[in-house]
Amino acid sequence: MPIEAGQPADSRPDRRRWVVGVDTHTDTHAAALVDALGEVHAQTEVSADPDGYIRLLAWAGEHLPAGQRMFWAVEGTRAHGHGLTRVLQAAGHQVIEAVPPVRGSRRRGGKSDRLDAIHAARTALINDHPATPRADGPREALRLLVTARQHYSTTRTATINV
């Protein structure tokens, strides 16, 4: 594959690189390949499963011009995009958390996964302080335990109050 591995996770993305913006959902992920100037060169939609992640990596490799480097801007890296983020990082790619579109402005023209993917990519190009996805490990396990405890506590209180 002609994709060059990304920089360490704590470094800022190089603005001269191309970016793949990904709008994630439960069943599908929409992606857009954008050059360093913000021009869209390719778009696709894949299933949100391991086969879809592999197809997305292959798609990016096919559409990225020779000699160009890229990084990924994924919406919801700890939610619907978690599986994709893991696969991309395991493959050596730099992944940043994409800034979601402002709800009011994006809903006026209707919901569009393809437009949200383009927005993710273009926003990543101009963001001076991109958020890196949180790592797995003890901290994430503790966060999940605390979240589950809060949920069960709230549910128990609601059940008692009924």
Q: 28-79, pLDDT tens digit by residue? A: 999 999 999 999 999 999 999 999 999 999 999 999 999 899 999 999 888 8
Distance, CA of 22 to CA of 120 (rounded, Å)? 7
CA dist 98 and 114 (Å) reads 14
CA distance 63 to 24: 20
Lowest-pLDDT range, 23-27, 105-109, 119-123, 148-152?
Answer: 105-109
Q: Averaged over 91-118, what is the pLDDT?
A: 80
Distance CA 88, CA 53 (A): 8
**pLDDT at position 41:** 96
63: burial class by Cβ within 10 Å (0-12, 13-18, 19+)? middle
Residue 22 near residue 98, CB atoms below 8 Å: yes
Structure tokens at 102: 């402002």
